[in-house]
Copies of this chain bind each other. A is one copy, B any other.
Amino acid sequence: MSLFIGVDVGGTKVLAAAVSTSGRLVRTARRETPDRNEDPMVVEDALTDAVHAVAGSRRVDGVGIAAAGFVDAAGERVMFAPHLPFRGEEVRARLMERWDTTVMLDNDANCTARAEVTYGAARGATDAVVITLGTGIGGAVVIGGRVHRGRNGMAGEFGHMQVVPQGRACECGGVGCWEQYCSGNALARAARARLGEAPTLLEQACDGDPDLLTGPMVTSAAEQGDQLALAAFEEIGSWLGVGTANLVAAFDPDVVVVGGGVCDAGDLLLGPARHALSTSLVGVGHRVVPPVLRATLGPSAGAVGAASMVRIAVQDHPRVFRTSGTRARARLRAARGTSRRR
């Protein structure tokens, strides 16, 4: 039986998983993500350690890597990642040489979308928009059943679409970005801004210090019926619906899938989002409005999608991938030869 492994490299932890053809996690290993100021080689060591822990003594047919950062159009490098040490290294070729197997690389949101389209909420959809609400917003565009990566591999950066002119400053350098109004951080901010308006469980949850308020605290309070927390979800959910309406106007997908930690609140988030979508979307009387569904694969979706990506590539195009692996290794050796000669 073949063995395909997916590895999700997040800002805080690495999850490696052997994934079955039906998308089931057969065996997993977790490691801490090394600090972003470490040498990239330290991250590669952690990945290697996790992959070996999952593989044991078995031959690995392919490893897919889902990285929390910008992956280039060719799927060779992590160009930039706020929480990882990579800055344009040829990660794919290096790991392919080190592991002697086919390796594929993409960003985590794209891998999550692959998992949801293949095994999850978007199964069977031709065109889908996948939105991941965590600290910020991750996103992916699926067209004709395939993830659309774009010229730079940067398609799906929905979180940095401007929704408010001269709005809140964003870490990206822009202003008024969607993720400043709709994300885990935005949820905590929305609740914080309401403290004192009414009695709330959140006062106790954060020990009276608004700065300690987190998204999960707001979710927990909202699930207990806390009015202030529910109002925060109403605000974030409405922003989710408005931004989704913009994406649906542009792509007209079959389905919209929403994942990420903020989505643990389920309909407390998606209810207001669906309402705002149906009131904001153009031509509602002349179209099928796509369902807005909660992602079903949870935090392992990135690893599952990464494994699926490499499985499909190797099985559908074995010659291409053997060739490109060899080429990538040859390129790497040539580059090293060059630098030795310098």
A residues neighboring B (CB under 8 Å)? 70, 79-80, 126-127, 139, 141, 143-144, 148-158, 160-165, 172, 174, 177, 242, 245-247, 249-254, 280, 282-283, 286-288, 290
Q: Could you say how many copies of this chain the assembly holds?
A: 2
Residues of B within 8 A of A141 (CB): 250-251
Residues of B within 8 A of A153 (CB): 252
Residues of B within 8 A of A283 (CB): 70, 80, 152, 154, 157, 160, 172
List 10 contacting pairs A-B, 8 Å CB cutoff, sorted by A.
Answer: A70-B283, A70-B287, A144-B144, A150-B252, A150-B253, A152-B286, A155-B252, A156-B252, A157-B282, A164-B165
Give the CA-CA distance A152 to B254 in the complex, in Å: 9
Given A151-B252, A152-B288, A290-B151, A280:B165 Cβ within 8 A: no
Q: Is the CB of B286 within 8 A of A158?
A: no
Give the CA-CA distance A235 to B285 in the complex, in Å: 33
Residues of B within 8 A of A152 (CB): 252, 283, 286-288
Residues of B within 8 A of A164 (CB): 164-165
Residues of B within 8 A of A287 (CB): 70, 151-152, 154
Given A282-B172, A286-B70, A286-B79, A251:B148 Cβ within 8 A: yes
* Residue from A139, A162, A254 whose CB has the most chain B CB atoms within 10 Å: A162
Given A141-B250, A148-B143, A174-B282, A162:B288 Cβ within 8 A: no
* Residue from A79, A80, A148, A177 whose CB has the most chain B CB atoms within 10 Å: A148
Give the CA-CA distance A150 to B254 in the complex, in Å: 8
Give the CA-CA distance A160 to B151 in the complex, in Å: 25
Q: Is the CB of A165 within 8 A of B162?
A: no
Q: Is the CB of B286 within 8 A of A160?
A: no
Give the CA-CA distance A158 to B280 in the complex, in Å: 13
Q: How far is the CB of A248 from chain B (nearest CB, A)?
A: 9
Q: Is the CB of A250 within 8 A of B143?
A: no
